[in-house]
Structure 1
Amino acid sequence: MTMRVDFGGPGPSQARLVGDYILGPRIGSGSFAVVWRSRHRQHGLEVAVKEIDKKLLSSKVSENLLKEISILSTINHPNIIQLFESIETEDRIFLVLEYCDGGNLAAYINRHAKVSEEIARHFMRHLAAGLQVLQEKHFIHRDLKPQNLLLSTKGATLQLKIGDFGFARLAV
């Protein structure tokens, strides 16, 4: 289904409907996925929808995706990206994730050129809290980098969240 939707950009655009979500502008992409800034069509909750084309997935990548869904389904913590739901169609898988309006840590560092010790300490506390939860649940992220550390604004405060669990594993 296609409908017109306005996400506050230069003007309304054509958007697709996936489940109860209206896919808006593209906000990122990777080897196997495109991420869309989206909204719940009834509640208006802003989310990020990661669209994965099944035809592009090898059996190993498909297995990693299932692990990512499984891991994120078991974690609810303010410093880890939240998975709201996954929607599967014949040729696609959509992960409905928490939208982080502050971008990622790499972009933040590029924008600010220099990060104060106070802000670095703030981010490191959030990273440590998220990693502690992963350790307690016996998960290993395996792809921590500034691009996978997302920032969300809570009032005037930035909150760091660990994202992209595509390489995560259960520690044995």
Structure 2
Amino acid sequence: MTEETTGDASAQPQMKMSILAQFVRDLSFENAVALKGMQAPEVQPEIQVQVSLDARRRPVDNQYETIMKLRLTSTNKVDNATLYLLELEYGGIFHIEGVPDDQMHPFLLIECPRQLFPFVRRIVSDVTRDGGFPAFNLEPIDFVALYRAEMARRAEAQAPQHLS
């Protein structure tokens, strides 16, 4: 019985993941308040966050790259003037083994961004603070919901269009 259990366990490959590198691919911060030289007497900031993800296989076996793209736009609720714009592309190179092919796509767009998120959050906080605004602490992102929404969007785009 022990041998059968051991045999069954060894038949399923163990999932292994390691982060080989992390990097800022692109970073832009535009302080509209400073650029326009304006003084806003009454500021009620509203921040919109847009997130998109991209992943690809690298030429080396078992290596993949995931890029998280964020765009934060802060506007003043009072007059709808832009306060700042932050764009960040943050990537990670991962060594991944033991993930079945049919599960690799969601793994790259859910689990890999989860590993990158704390570093992205720190960069956003530091850049907004160093840019002259209160540090913005990015709320946790539900990468599963983001993935499902993207898959639904793709399915809808591929669905045949029926004319009435």
Q: TM-score, normalised by structure 2?
A: 0.21
Q: TM-score, normalised by structure 1?
A: 0.21
Give the structure, 1 or 2, with the largest relative contact order (CA under 8 Å, sep 6 or more): 2
